Structure 1
Amino acid sequence: MFGTVYRGTLDDGTLVAVKRAEKRLDDTQLGVEFQSEIKTLGRVEHFNLVKFYGCLDCDGERIVVIEHVPNGTLREHLEGFYGSHLDLTARLDIAIDVAHAVTYLHTYTDHPIIHRDIKSSNILLTETLRAKVADFGFARFGTGDTGVTHISTQVRGTAGYLDPEYLKTYQLTEKSDVYSFGVLLVELVSGRRPIETKREHKERITAKWVCNEEVHGRERYRNIGSKPLSDSCNQSGFGKDTGTLSTMPCSDKTTAAEHEKVRRNSMEYKEGFLGAVVL
């Protein structure tokens, strides 16, 4: 939705990111996404969510002013754009930060919020590698305690992260974010993108490939990760937890990237599980 992002400074010296929306022919949909962004950001406040400062919607200009997060996206760091790759400790901390953010959206806001686009390029990193979830253009309010089990809505999101049941039935629930988070965990451990079309057919969908029985087990799993992550597993003292983190998206006990939403645990459960890995 946003084409250009500028860096600015408020009167008090606070650095901000000024996001200017593209001008497109399908302006109606752009307007919907813009309103979703500002309505959601205006309702939330959490350290692991980008902070909202203000917006403008006037004479065809749509601008959002948010916190400036200076260290790029998680995807850029996984690609090595910033020189060194993230070690296992940093990846685990990032996973916990994202879990905190999504749990807050689902559980601790006035009304549950479904992000609908949890992915590595929407995770911004601070200079100390703390994660902040951004981009609420596809966000929707959940059902809350109304007794309604889902929202029927047109599919929005990013290929590779989309909940298969949501894609098939158009029924959106908080478990759709849980699936996307599971894919993100696989991405954090393997370093791969969710879809890699240049690989052989059985390896193109990373989450499916990782959760396949052929790559289950700690030693086999280490071999699928990027080399810098494999090195960090040997050196960081996290050896005993590597298997726990890596198999979390696929295991029967802590399912996240499971195709059937009834088998996925809540984000609150994921948050607690990741915290236990650190302990």
Structure 2
Amino acid sequence: MDLPIRKFSFHLLAWLHRSRRRRLSFIKRYAYKDIKKATDGFHRIVYSTSHGAAYKAKFRDGGIVLVKEITEINQEKEEFYRKVQLLGRLHHRHLLALRGFSFGHKRLLVFDNVENGSLKEHLNDPLRTPLNWRTRLQIAAGVVAALEYLLLFNDPPIYHVSINSSNIMLDENFNAKLSDIGVLTSAGDSEAMPHTSCSKDCMNQECSNLIYQLGVLILELVTGQSSENGDADLVQWIQESRFRNSIHNMIDPDLGNTYDNRELRSLLAVAKLCIASRGKPTFSVLQIFRYFQKKVEIPQ
């Protein structure tokens, strides 16, 4: 190899090494005191699990964001930074984008705006304007699109996801945004709450659990009922052989007669398939997604 080329290669490798060592150059670091004030002393809880809580934060400039507390035991500083970098590289219109982080008294992740709060609030709060049928279809489609991106278009598909109405946020246009996304550590541990991970050919227990969560979410969108205290009733209903005869008794009263009957039955067919996949998956993740896209045509 010629000397000039060897010198160029040496300097290029050195530059790449320095670039990889730079931490979080594209992600903002927030002061802990600013986040504490914006969350009203961490009292504006959106949802909470045994692994931490998520808070609604409002800053002086009027911006509203979601702040997630990471309480993983023995979480090293460098490992936390690595996770922040990985999450910061995810870009999809149905994922809540990572804005920044804070590492101090608490390890915090700061995500994008949540103007319309969580899906759960809109389904369960009688003071909220009910979601119309078109919006519910779009929310279901948005969740599927986000999962497709995370599981099929990331190499390797190491991202962990939890799906429920509490951690699906809605932006100003009521677009669904998944907020509970984690990544595997080098040791194989997970940062996320109840989770699964899989590839497009995955048909194991972990992937079937994820598809099951999607099915339960669809049932929540259709019925307006919460699965917070267990989803047994909703699941039992759709597993009944004569469930089709009771569809109109189960649909959310807030929808009135505004829904399309064909679209409703198609959406429930997807939910039924997702629920049936738990414990004995017979379809891959890719097949489930394609089935949804075939059965559910989102109105423009």
Task: Give the TM-score normalised by the residue count of structure 2.
Answer: 0.66
Q: How does 1:150-169 map to 2 (within 5 A)?
A: 157=193
Number of the residue aligned with 1:86? 131
- Picking from 264, 268, 278, the partner of 2:289 is 268
SS at match of 2:111: strand
The unaligned stretches of length 5 or more in structure 1 are 142-151, 164-170, 198-202
Q: Are 2:234 and 1:212 equivalent residues in the alignment?
A: no
Instruction: For residue 274 of structure 2, give the secondary structure of its aligned residue in structure 1.
Output: coil
Contact residue 4 and residue 19 of structure 1 kept, 8 A: yes
- The verdict on how the C-alpha distance between 1:172 and 1:28 changes in structure 2, with shifts beyond 3 A counting, is farther
Checking the alignment, whether the CA contact within 8 Å between 1:18 and 1:63 is kept in structure 2 is no
1:186-223 deviation per Cα after TM superposition (whole angstroms, max 9, x unaligned): 111111122646xxxxx8442232222131x2x52121
Q: Is the 8 A contact 2:99 2:112 kept in 1?
A: yes
Matched, 1:49 2:104: no
- Equivalent residue number for residue 67 of structure 2: 19
In the TM superposition, residue 263 of structure 1 has moved relative to its aligned partner by: 3.9
Per the alignment, residue 68 of structure 1 pairs with 113
CA distance in 1, matches of 2:292, 2:158: 17
Cα deviation code 1:168-191 (max 9, x no counterpart):
xxx764443222111111111111
Shift of the alpha carbon at 1:44?
Answer: 0.7
Q: How many residues align?
A: 238
Q: Partner amino acid for 2:210?
A: D
Q: 1:172 to 1:244 in 2, by over 3 A?
A: closer
Are the aligned partners of 2:151 and 2:157 in contact in 1 as well (CA < 8 Å)?
Answer: yes
Q: Which has the larger radius of gyration?
A: 2
> Which one of the candidate residues 254, 259, 266 is aligned to 1:228?
254
Question: Which residue type is aligned with residue 222 of structure 1?
Answer: H
Report the CA distance between 1:227 and its aligned residue: 0.9
The 3 A distance-change label for structure 1 pair 223 and 67 is same
TM-score, normalization: structure 1? 0.70
> Per-residue deviation at 1:39?
5.0
Query: Pick from 127, 139, 142: which aligns with 1:97?
Result: 142
Q: Distance in 1 between matches of 2:133 and 2:78?
A: 38
Change (3 A) 1:80 1:3: closer
- The 3-state SS of whatever aligns with 2:74 is helix
Aligned to 1:144: none
Pairing 1:7–2:55 present: no
Aligned to 2:221: 188
Query: Does the 8 Å contact 1:194/1:207 carry over to 2?
Result: no
Q: Which moved more, 1:264-273 or 1:72-81?
A: 264-273
Give me the whole-angstrom Cα distance separating, in 1, the residues matched to 2:106 and 2:80.
Answer: 11
Residue type of the alignment partner of 2:58: R
1:111 Cα deviation after fit: 2.0
* Contact 1:124–1:131 (CA under 8 A) maintained in structure 2: yes
Q: Percent identity?
A: 23
CA RMSD of the aligned region, Å?
3.6
Gaps spanning 5+ residues in structure 2: where?
A: 1-51, 197-203
